[in-house]
Amino acid sequence: MRLPRGIEVGAATHTGLVRAQNEDDYFVGTLPQPAAGLLLCAVADGMGGVAGGAEASRLALRALGATLLDGQASGAIEARFRDGFRAASARVFAEASTVSALRDMGTTLTALCFAGDTVHLGHVGDTRAYRCRRNACECLTVDHAAREPENVLLRCIGGGKDHSDVDHARIDVQAGDRFVLVSDGVWSVVPAADLARLVARGSAQAAAEALVTAALRAGGPDNATAVVVDVRDPAAAGVHEVDLPRDERPSGRERWPRPGSLRPALWPWLLWAAALVVLAAAASRWAWGVDAWQWFTHRVG
């Protein structure tokens, strides 16, 4: 895809080691002619345990992107960004209204819209956005969730409502800033100090994969997604081509522990061993007339 020349992006997502499907999703997109530096990056985490979580995250992201990155649209970017969140709420609600089983489906949605030396932040739910500057990582969002006695979202896109209470902010940008978007499958199991250490080095893609790998090594209890954006020069003109991963990352199986359910079962090997013992006993009786089992019990006794 094409990105503004002064920006690098990395992305990684994984189902984790417990969940059956990935209800996380991410979006990275620009206008058809992104010479002005407009870039949208967003992460959504469908509500676990509710039917349609994966569908909700994808619908919300695509509605936001289609509204903000409409090349024919006019008006200030900030207003279009807000309209995008409203469109996401309306789209998820409309889809949920058509299927009774999906009426409560919902998703978090956290997005950064880069426009020159300014970033517009939109946030609802408990996905998080960080800005890393000069070796310090600052969380830019507040979780809309209650963690005790169990994790419950207090705000989301959808959830039976056609509108959402969204936090909006304008964030200044400097050359050298690194922005990070992560689902709770990352930040809830990767301590803040480790998160800051992992995103402080390497390319944007390497940092995104390092965060997801760390979540998997911590047990991977939830879907894990990370999008990392490096701002090298906010004023740079032109575009460049990049390839973002199309599959789950990291992709090398040696880079994360396998869940118990996927480890090879022991019973086939035990069955084979027992069968070999029986065959050996039968062969000894046939060839030499020796009852191996009687001989063994006599020796042990």
Confidence of residue 37 (pLDDT cuts 50, 70, 90): low
Q: Report the pLDDT value the prediction gives residue 290, as an integer from 0 to 100.
A: 66
Task: Please check whether residues 49 and 185 belong to one and the same domain.
Answer: yes
Task: Please check whether residues 247 and 280 belong to one and the same domain.
Answer: no
52: CATH: 3.60.40.10
pLDDT digits (tens, 9 = 90+) for 97-149: 998 888 889 999 999 999 888 999 999 999 999 999 988 999 999 999 987 66
Task: Please check whether residues 160 and 219 belong to one and the same domain.
Answer: yes
The domain in which residue 102 lies consists of 2-258
* CB 208 within 8 Å of CB 263: no
Question: Would the pLDDT of 260 be above 60?
Answer: no
Q: Taking the CA atoms of the chain, what radius of gyration do you get in angstroms?
A: 26
User: Count of domains in the chain?
Assistant: 2
| Residue 94: DSSP 8-state | H
CA gap 60, 91 in Å, rounded: 7
Task: Please check whether residues 140 and 282 belong to one and the same domain.
Answer: no
Question: Would the pLDDT of 265 be above 90?
Answer: no
CA gap 150, 155 in Å, rounded: 15
Task: Please check whether residues 271 and 254 belong to one and the same domain.
Answer: no
β-bridge mates for residue 9, sequence order: 229
| Residue 257: DSSP 8-state | P
Segment 263-272 shows an average pLDDT of: 65
* CB 181 within 8 Å of CB 26: yes
Task: Please check whether residues 82 and 214 belong to one and the same domain.
Answer: yes
CA neighbor of 194 nearest in space, from 130, 121, 257:
130
CA gap 185, 24 in Å, rounded: 9
Task: Please check whether residues 236 and 277 belong to one and the same domain.
Answer: no
Task: Please check whether residues 179 and 287 belong to one and the same domain.
Answer: no
* 3 state SS of 215: helix
CA neighbor of 132 nearest in space, from 190, 173, 191:
173
CA neighbor of 222 nearest in space, from 264, 187, 261:
187
Confidence of residue 301 (pLDDT cuts 50, 70, 90): low
Q: How many CB atoms lie within 10 A of CB 247?
A: 7
Contacts of 208 (CB under 8 A, 6+ apart): 10, 11, 12, 226, 227, 228, 249
Task: Please check whether residues 155 and 291 belong to one and the same domain.
Answer: no
Task: Please check whether residues 136 and 211 belong to one and the same domain.
Answer: yes
Task: Please check whether residues 155 and 273 belong to one and the same domain.
Answer: no
Task: Please check whether residues 295 and 203 belong to one and the same domain.
Answer: no
